[in-house]
């Protein structure tokens, strides 16, 4: 799917290059920057499963992102390298501890008092902003005086932050106490890094000299390998049961972005 989309985007650029011939202002720069761009990530396949463990991820399948800056260096009239990164915004990643407490109350409150919850994004519970993937890739350039089309193929790195969680329970009419703990590794907080592939195309129309209306379409892919351990432990008998929840699947996301961007060009 990815390579087919890349060739589609590349063909758009080749076709446009044969249709339009106004180049008096085009191809005048080797280095250019663009900012900003607001976009939305729409999942084709989802990582999160709808369980309480989702609250331990600083990741959301559906999110908005802001691209603070994109830098392109053209070593050829048409070909160059492109660097960009995303800052992602999602309400779901806020207040994980409160959400985990609410889930524990619904599961255990009939038989136990839910004493407290630790972890679950307490370290930054008010933040809804996290860093998305960082990309570096090849870009093909078609430009005229008024329009541009840039097919791209990028390879990047995405980091997914996971938290620990622990729920403390006190059995009603009994002295028994329990813990329900969640962990995805040796550390309380872990960042899991994965390579991501992203064919894309951006295109725009010149409004003023440096201001353009810009649109962007990205298909991204990565495959996480995260396993959570859930341990239910009786603190009186010291006996425990363990369950494992794996997050290993192919993740495809389709992104759409648009906005008015400011383009800075550094001429030859």
Q: How confident is the model at residue 35, as a pLDDT?
A: 67
The rounded distance, in Å, linking the Cα atoms of 74 and 158 is 25
Please report which confidence band the pLDDT of residue 87 belongs to, taking 50, 70 and 90 as the band edges.
confident
pLDDT in tens, 31-46: 888 766 788 999 999 9
Q: How confident is the model at residue 25, as a pLDDT?
A: 53
Q: How confident is the model at residue 225, as a pLDDT?
A: 93
Q: How confident is the model at residue 20, as a pLDDT?
A: 41
The rounded distance, in Å, linking the Cα atoms of 185 and 244 is 12
The rounded distance, in Å, linking the Cα atoms of 66 and 131 is 10
**pTM, rounded to two decimals:** 0.80
Burial class of residue 76, CB neighbours in 10 A (0-12, 13-18, 19+): exposed
Please report which confidence band the pLDDT of residue 129 belongs to, taking 50, 70 and 90 as the band edges.
low
Burial 214-253 (b: 16+ CB within 10 A, else e): bbbbbbbbbebebebebeebeeeeeeeeeeeeebeeebeb
What is the set of domains in the chain, with CATH numbers? 2-267 (2.40.160.20)
Please determine, for residue 250, whether its predicted confidence score (pLDDT) is greater than 50: yes
State the number of CA atoms in the 13 A half-sphere of 94 facing the CB. Answer: 9
């Amino acid at each position: 799917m990815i390579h087919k989309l890349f060739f589609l985007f590349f063909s758009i650029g080749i076709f446009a290059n044969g249709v339009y011939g106004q180049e008096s202002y085009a191809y005048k720069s080797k280095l250019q920057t663009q900012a900003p761009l607001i976009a939305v990530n729409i999942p084709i396949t989802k990582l999160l499963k709808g369980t309480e463990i989702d609250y331990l991820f600083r990741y959301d399948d559906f999110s908005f992102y802001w691209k603070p800056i994109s830098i392109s260096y053209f070593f050829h009239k048409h070909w160059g390298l492109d660097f960009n990164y995303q800052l992602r915004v999602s309400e779901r990643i806020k207040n994980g501890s409160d959400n985990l407490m609410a889930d524990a109350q619904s599961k255990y409150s009939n038989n136990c008092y839910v004493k407290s919850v630790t972890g679950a994004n307490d370290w930054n519970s008010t933040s809804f902003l996290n860093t998305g993937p960082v990309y570096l890739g090849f870009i093909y350039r078609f430009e005229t005086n008024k329009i541009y089309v840039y097919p791209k193929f990028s390879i990047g790195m995405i980091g997914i932050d996971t938290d620990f969680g622990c729920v403390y329970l006190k059995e009603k009419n009994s002295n028994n106490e329990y813990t329900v703990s969640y962990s995805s590794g040796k550390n309380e907080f872990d960042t899991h890094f994965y390579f991501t592939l992203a064919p894309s195309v951006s295109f725009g129309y010149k409004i003023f000299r440096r201001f353009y209306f810009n649109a962007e379409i990205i298909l991204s892919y990565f495959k996480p390998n995260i396993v959570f351990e859930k341990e239910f432990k009786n603190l009186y008998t010291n006996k425990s049961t363990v369950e494992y929840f794996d997050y290993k699947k192919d993740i495809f996301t389709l992104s759409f972005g648009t906005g008015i961007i400011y383009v800075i060009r550094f001429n030859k």
